[in-house]
Amino acid sequence: MDPSSETSTQWNVFCSQHCRMWFGRVREFDSKGTQMDMFRVMHAFKPRQNDNLTATEIEHSNVYYYDDQRGTVSSSPRCGPWFYKQEDSNDNFKGVKHPKWPHTKYIFFPNGSGILFNNSAVNYGQVETCIKLFVHHPTRPSIRLSVMLEYCDFVLESFKIYMENSDGWKSEFWDNQQIDDRSKATNSDLSCSSSNLQSSQTIDLNLNLSSSNGAKSVMSQDKNNFFGTGSDNDCQDISALFDFVHPGYLIFYPTQNITLTCPRFMDHKFDNVQNSPCIDASSPLSLSPISKNPQSSFVALRWNLCPDNLSTDLVAEFDYDNRFNNLSQYVYCHSPAKEP
């Protein structure tokens, strides 16, 4: 493989940013946003050579930990192991190929954030469409947030939130995030601040990458009016507004710091989405659909990092046939609002 090719760069990012042990706390929700399960999982990515950057094969295995009668699960179809090979992730495939499901692949940004998606059935239970978004913390490489959506018969069945740390099970960062969830302080803090678009980047299905440093100032209050604060008082009203502006889409607040937007159906039984008048145009969430293709759909994730005064949007766009088009990431830096 040409070391300067885009696919080679994808493999190197996979090795350098993801090839480690990830210790995750997982929350699983149904299509109505009701929490169904909580457990822990360890994702292990081990290079077959000592130097991650020159590994030509990576072993991937999972171990699940439950606090009920299920106990520890280390041997099942979802545990692996699987063996990723650099030679399978070639320029014709455009991405990192999953070894078990030939139509499933990863596409990554240089900072490690990315997407796993499939263009056909993955033969994993009844799941026909699986989308997993990975968001790396902008300044903490050991912290990663992942979201997996599963569609059965083209209808959203469930989604999972993975709060991951590569330093071990103990994570002061995620402990603080969960404290913010209980105190419901995070989004209210950000709603009283101004936001600067710090950086943006987009990658398409051909691995063409574009990026820029942002300098546009916006009021996060306007954006939170669209996403809502996730509080008990306004969730119902915000969801109703969202359904009016974006017919056929769902909005979830699985934690106080996370907002997830996705279509109910992946076979496009929903009407075309209209532009929102109340979102800042610097975010792709204000442009629905993102591209000029009127039949496209998107999955969007917003992660507010209150202790670090940061937030990030990760948005994946798909065409009418549910094929991946592009992935965009926007990072915002927040500062306290000025006194009137």
How do residues 126-173 score in pLDDT, each as one tens digit? Answer: 556 789 999 999 888 899 999 999 888 778 999 999 999 999 998 888
At 52 the three-state DSSP class reads helix
For residue range 274-331, list pLDDT tens digits in order. Answer: 333 333 334 334 333 333 444 567 889 999 886 678 888 899 988 766 778 899 998 8
d(CA 75, CA 337): 52
Q: CA quadruple 155, 303, 194, 283: dihedral positive or negative?
A: negative
Using 50, 70 and 90 to split pLDDT, how confident is the model at 9? confident
**pLDDT at site 178:** 66
> At CA 132, angle to CA 218 and CA 72, rounded to 5?
125
80, 46 contact by CB (below 8 A):
no
Domain locations in the chain as residue ranges = 6-336
**Can you tell me the mean pLDDT for 220-224?**
38
**pLDDT at site 135:** 94
At 44 the three-state DSSP class reads strand
**pLDDT at site 272:** 35
At 226 the three-state DSSP class reads helix
Return the residue matching tokens 């306004």.
Answer: 234
Secondary structure of 138-187 as H, E, C letters? CCCCCEEEEEEEEEECCEEEEEEEEEEECCCCCCHHHHHHHHHHHHCCHH
CATH number of 6-336: 2.40.128.20
**pLDDT at site 53:** 52
